């Protein structure tokens, strides 16, 4: 599976890397990017459910909902492109990347909000 992904990456070229994408490539883990994509997909699903589902949207609110839908579609596309670029950079030049991020979760005896 990884071999297939690598072969696909070798054939793809990314021409329009924005400053925001470049910052995300260097500061976000792949899991964080996928998490953001999942959240945008959920928002998009709910927005499109309202927009195309029931038809009970008042006419004065329809343009606002259409703008939100368009914005979410743009966010989704940018995140997909950023994830593609993250994977490409991780394969070709991982030296500048944040591959993992320390997880500083405190459970049990290390919690400060409870008395033990």
Domain positions in the chain: 2-97
Phi/psi for 22 (5° steps) reads -60, -40
What's the chain's length in residues?
116
Distance CA 86, CA 97 (A): 8
Burial 40-51 (b: 16+ CB within 10 A, else e): beebbeebeebb
Q: What pLDDT, on a 0 to 100 scale, did the predictor assign at position 101?
A: 63
Specify whether the CB–CB gap between 23 and 92 falls below 8 A.
no
Burial class (CB in 10 A: 0-12, 13-18, 19+), 34: middle
Q: Which residues contact 14 (CB under 8 A, 6 or more apart)?
A: 81, 84, 85, 88
Distance CA 59, CA 30 (A): 40
Q: What is the pTM assigned to this prediction? A: 0.65
Distance CA 36, CA 83 (A): 10
57-108 pLDDT per residue, tens: 888 999 999 999 999 999 999 999 999 999 998 888 877 776 666 666 666 6
Q: What pLDDT, on a 0 to 100 scale, did the predictor assign at position 15?
A: 46
Q: What pLDDT, on a 0 to 100 scale, did the predictor assign at position 29?
A: 86
């Amino acid at each position: 599976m990884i071999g297939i992904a690598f072969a696909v990456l070798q054939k793809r070229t990314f021409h329009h890397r924005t400053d925001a994408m470049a910052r995300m490539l260097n500061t976000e883990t792949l899991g964080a990017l996928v998490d953001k994509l999942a959240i945008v997909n959920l928002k998009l699903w709910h927005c499109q459910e309202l927009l195309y589902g029931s038809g009970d949207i008042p006419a004065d609110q329809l343009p606002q909902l259409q703008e939100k839908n368009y914005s979410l579609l743009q966010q989704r596309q940018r995140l997909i492109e950023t994830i593609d670029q993250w994977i490409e950079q991780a394969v070709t030049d991982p030296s500048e990347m944040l591959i993992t991020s320390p997880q500083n979760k405190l459970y049990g005896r290390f919690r400060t909000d409870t008395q033990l």
